[in-house]
Structure 1
Amino acid sequence: MRKTGVTSASTDTTTGGGAGWPCGGGLNLGVKLNVALLLSVVATNLVSLYHLSLRAATVPPPPLLLQQQQGGAGDEEELALIRQLDAIRAGVSQLNHLHSSSPPPPPPPPELLLYSRLAPVASACSAHPDLLHRYMSYTPFASCPDDALSLAEPLLLRGCHPLPRRRCFSPTAPASASKLLPTDPFSPLPDATVRWPKDANCKSFSCLPPSLGFDVARTEAARFLRARGPLDLTAPQLLRLASLSRAGPIRMGLDVGGGTGTLAARLKKLANATVVTTTMNLGAAAPYSEAAAARGVVPLHAPLQQRFPVGDGTMDVVRAGHAVNRWIPVAALEFLWYDADRALRPGGLLWVDHFWCRRSDLEGVYAAMLRRLGYKTIKWAVADKSVAGGGGGNSGKDEVYLTALLQKPFS
C-alpha cells in the first residue's frame, strides 16, 4: 500500500492532480489561505490604527494602569500603539507650543528701509506703471519701439534696473558704421555710429560742446596727461603713486560717471589696463555710451544709484568723476562709497576727482564720510570751485572742489 501510494503521488505530481495525497495539490491551497490570512491581519491592524489615532486625537487616553486592568494579554499590542501615539501627540504639542511662544520676526534692518527710500527695492519698476506699461507694450518678434531715450533711461534713473527684457529687435546704427570705427581712441568720432534722434538739436559730435567730452581729438587728448593745478591727477602720476604705495600695477579699473571713457582710453594706451566706464546718455543731448564704445572702451549703461556690476575685490582703482557731486543725496552717496570699497581689492585706490560741494559741508559731511572708510590718504587737495574752474573769483556760493586719492587697507 505504501508503494502504491508513493507511485500514485508521483503520478499526481506529474499530471497536476493530487487527489490521493494530502500534501500534494493541497499545498497551493494552504499558501493561498496563509496569504489571505496575512492580508486580513494587515487590514485589521490598519483599521485599528486609524480608529486608535482618531481616539487619541479626540479623547484623552485612560491611565496606563486602568488600561492594564481592563485589557488582557490580547490588548498589549493596542497599548503599545497608544503609547506611541501619545508620544507623537506630545511631540506635536511641544512643537506647537514652541512655535506659538516664539518671538515675532525682527523688523527690517534700518539699512534696508533707508535704501528703499533712495531706490525702492523690488518695486522700483512697479512704482512707475505708466512708464513700465508703455515700455512693455510692443509687438513680440518684431522691431522694438525707438524708446531708449524716452522710456528706458527714465526707468533706469528711477531705480528700475535692470530693465525688463523684451522679445524684440532693438534698433542700431547702420552696419556700414563699423567700417568707420577708429583704431586710435583719440581720433575724431564718426557720426554714423550714433542713431541721432530726429528731434535732437545736434546730429553730429562736432555740434556738441567740447566741455561734454566729445572733442576727443583735441580737448580729451590732453586730459590726464598735463596737470593744470593741484586738483588734477594725471594718469602717469596715478601709475607712479600706485607703485610707490605698494598698490601694485593697475590692470582693472572702474570709472564712475566717466563720460566718453577718456581715462579708460588713456590707461589702455599707457598701461594696457582695462577700465570700464559707467555712462548715462541723459536724453538726446549726449550719446556717451555710443562715443565710449566707438573709442574701443567698455561702457556700462548704469545710473549712479545702481550697485556696481563688478565682483567683490576685483578692481585696482575706482574713480568717481564729475557726475559724483553734492547733488546726490547724502545717504545715497555713502552707499556709493561703500560699494566702491566692495569692488576694490586690498590696497586698491579710490580716486575722488573734482568732487564739488559747499565749503561749509566739506568737513562736516563729505570729508567725514570718506574718512569713515578708514583709507590711507595719498592725495587731498581742496580749491575754490570758481577759481579752479577759471571763473575768476568767488562765485558767492562758497563752493569748493575736492580731489582725493585714498588707498584701501591691505587687511
Structure 2
Amino acid sequence: MGAEDYSPKKLQHHNPYNTTRYKLKILVLVILTNLLTFYIFSTGPSSFNFQPISKYTQHLSLPINWEPPSGLLRELNATHRELTASRVQIAELTQQLKFTNLIVKALLTDLPHLRSPALTSQIGGNSTILDYINSLSHETKLAIGPHKLPLGYSPRMGSDELYPPVGGSCLKYKDELSQYMTYTVGGECPVDDVFAQRLMLKGCEPLPRRRCHPKAPKGYKNPAPLPGSLWATPPDTSIVWDPYTCKNYKCLIDRQNTPGFYDCKDCFNLKGREKARWLFDRGLDYGIDQVLSAKPRGTIRIGLDIGGGAGTFAARMKERNITIITTSMNLDGPFNSFISSRGLLSMHLSISQRLPFFENTLDIVHSMHVLSNWIPDVMLEFTLYDIYRVLRPGGLLWLDHFFCFGHQLNTTYVPMLNRAGFKRLRWNAGLKLDRGADKNEWYFSALLEKPMS
C-alpha cells in the first residue's frame, strides 16, 4: 500500500456562517408553528371533521374543527377517486389472474399435446398462453371462468369461488369452442347438435353452458302416458329434426332395410327385435329375470345402462319397477329424445366422461356392445374401475355381448376384469361367425359382482 492510505483526514474547520443559518431556520419553524396553532384555535366550525385514526380512537372527539383549503380538498377527492379506480382494476386483474391460472392448469394436463406442432399451429407460433386466453370470446370466458360466491368464503367448499366443470380438452379447440359460444344472449341457440357432439367426442365434455334457448319443435304434443309410452313411437312433432339425415320416425324405422352403417340401426323399430330383447335366457343372451334372480328380490332398484341405444333395456327394467338411467349419444338419430319420449331417463354422455354418480350407490350397471375392444385398453380399465366405484357392495355389472378378438380374451380382458376386483357370477363366450370363423372374432357376456367387503 502507498503512504496515502495512511494519511490523516482533513480536519473540519468551524464556520460561524453555518451556525447562524441553522439558528435562523429554527426560529422560522417556531414562528410558523405558533401561527398555525393560533389559526386552528381561532377558526369557527366547519364541515371538516377529523376521522378516527384507529379503532382505539374512534370514540374520541377532538375539540377542534378544521376546514382545509379548497385546493387541498380537490386534491384529496381526486386521490380518493384514483384509489377507488385502482382497487377496481386490482380486483379485475386478480380475477383475470385466477382465470389464467385455471386455464394454465387445464392446458398442462396434457403436456405432450402442448409440445406438439398441432397445438402450436392452433395457438400461433409466437403467441403465449395469455394471448390464447385473451383471444377467447367474452361469452366463453364468462362461461368457464371462476365466479365469486355472493356470500363469500364457504368452509364446505374450501373456497370463495365456484368453478364450472368444463373439460380441459375444450381449451385445445379454440376456434370450435368460440363457434359453439357464438350466439345472441337471450335469443335462440344455433341448431348445432352435431357440431357440439363432435366437440364432446374430442374430449370437450361437459360443454360450457350457454345463455340461449334451444329451438322448440313446431306443433309439439304431450307425450303418451305410461305404461303405453314404453312401446309407442312418439309423434314426429316431438323432435327438432334439423341435425339428422332422417326427418321423421318412419325414416328411422325403415333404414334397417337400407344399406350402410348406422348406430343401433334397427332399434327405433319397437315392434321388431327390440320387442323381444332380454326376455329369454340362452347362451350369450341373458334374460333380465334370470339376472335379477342372482340377488334377493327387490334389492335391484336403481342402475345405469351405458350406451343404451333407444332405451329398451331401461323399458324392460321399468316394467319391473326398476329405475335405469340410459346414456346415449345422438349419432345421426334423436336417441336421447326418443328415450325420454318413452318415459325413461336419458343422459347425453360419452363413454369417456367420469360417471356422474357418488360411490357405492347403484345396484346394477349394464352395457351392450358399447364396452368392447374399440376402447383403448387404459381408458377401458379406468372405466371399469369407475363402474366399480359407483356400484354398491354386492352390486352387479352386466357386460352384454362384449366384442373382442380371440387373442385378447384371456390375455387382455380377463386379467383386466380381475384387476378391477369383480367377482364372476356368470360367464359365456362364443365365436362371432357372421364374417367367418377365420376372423377369430368373439363375444363374451358376463355377470359380475362387486364384493360385499
Same fold (TM over 0.5): yes
- Point out where structure 1 has 5 or more consecutive residues left out of the alignment: 1-107
The alpha carbon displacement at 1:407 in A equals 0.5
Match of 1:141 in 2: 186
Match of 1:273 in 2: 322
Match of 2:280 in 1: 226
Match of 2:313 in 1: 263
Q: Is the 8 A contact 1:157 1:303 kept in 2?
A: yes
Residue 199 to residue 311, structure 1, CA distance change in 2 (3 Å):
closer
Q: Does residue 161 of the first structure (1) align with residue 205 of the second (2)?
A: yes
Match of 2:440 in 1: 398
Q: Is the 8 A contact 1:189 1:216 kept in 2?
A: no
1:314 to 349, 352, 361: 361
1:216 to 270, 285, 291: 270
Q: Is the 8 A contact 1:260 1:291 kept in 2?
A: yes
Q: Does residue 174 of the first structure (1) align with residue 218 of the second (2)?
A: yes
The alpha carbon displacement at 1:174 in A equals 3.3
Q: Is the 8 A contact 2:395 2:450 kept in 1?
A: yes
Match of 2:432 in 1: 385
What is the SS of the residue equivalent to 2:420? coil
Distance (Å, rounded) in 2 between the aligned partners of 1:122 and 1:299: 21
2:290 to 220, 224, 237: 237
Q: Deviations over 1:260-301 (max 9, x none)?
A: 11111111102x11100110012xx22210111111111110
What is the SS of the residue equivalent to 2:318? helix
The alpha carbon displacement at 1:113 in A equals 6.8
Stretches (4+) displaced over 3 A: 112-117, 179-183
Please tell me the residue identity of whatever aligns with 1:143. E
- Point out where structure 2 has 5 or more consecutive residues left out of the alignment: 1-104, 115-165, 257-263
Q: Is the 8 A contact 1:256 1:277 kept in 2?
A: yes
Please tell me the residue identity of whatever aligns with 1:405. L
Match of 1:100 in 2: none
Match of 1:329 in 2: 376
Distance (Å, rounded) in 2 between the aligned partners of 1:307 and 1:195: 29
Match of 2:338 in 1: 291
Distance (Å, rounded) in 2 between the aligned partners of 1:159 and 1:140: 26
TM-score by length of 2: 0.59
Structure number with greater CO (CA < 8 Å, separation at least 6) is 1
Distance (Å, rounded) in 2 between the aligned partners of 1:320 and 1:214: 18
Q: Is the 8 A contact 1:252 1:315 kept in 2?
A: yes
The alpha carbon displacement at 1:123 in A equals 2.4
Q: Is the 8 A contact 1:259 1:279 kept in 2?
A: yes
Q: Deviations over 1:108-142 (max 9, x none)?
A: 9xxx779999xxx9520011112111101111111
The alpha carbon displacement at 1:371 in A equals 1.2
Distance (Å, rounded) in 2 between the aligned partners of 1:216 and 1:201: 17
Q: Is the 8 A contact 1:325 1:355 kept in 2?
A: yes
Distance (Å, rounded) in 1 between the aligned partners of 2:185 and 2:382: 38
Q: Deviations over 1:37-79 (max 9, x none)?
A: xxxxxxxxxxxxxxxxxxxxxxxxxxxxxxxxxxxxxxxxxxx
RMSD of aligned C-alpha atoms?
2.8
Distance (Å, rounded) in 2 between the aligned partners of 1:352 and 1:307: 18
The alpha carbon displacement at 1:172 in A equals 2.7
What is the SS of the residue equivalent to 2:430? strand
The alpha carbon displacement at 1:176 in A equals 2.6
What is the SS of the residue equivalent to 2:387? helix
Distance (Å, rounded) in 2 between the aligned partners of 1:181 and 1:174: 21
What is the SS of the residue equivalent to 1:372? helix
Residue 397 to residue 172, structure 1, CA distance change in 2 (3 Å):
farther
Distance (Å, rounded) in 2 between the aligned partners of 1:130 and 1:301: 23
2:172 to 121, 127, 133: 127
Task: Map 1:92-111; keep pairs closer than 5 Å.
Answer: none
Residue 148 to residue 199, structure 1, CA distance change in 2 (3 Å):
closer
Q: Is the 8 A contact 1:208 1:214 kept in 2?
A: no
What is the SS of the residue equivalent to 1:243? coil
What is the SS of the residue equivalent to 1:206? helix
Please tell me the residue identity of whatever aligns with 1:255. D
Distance (Å, rounded) in 2 between the aligned partners of 1:322 and 1:378: 20
Distance (Å, rounded) in 1 between the aligned partners of 2:203 and 2:367: 20
Match of 1:87 in 2: none
Please tell me the residue identity of whatever aligns with 1:250. I
Q: Is the 8 A contact 1:181 1:294 kept in 2?
A: no
Residue 133 to residue 335, structure 1, CA distance change in 2 (3 Å):
same
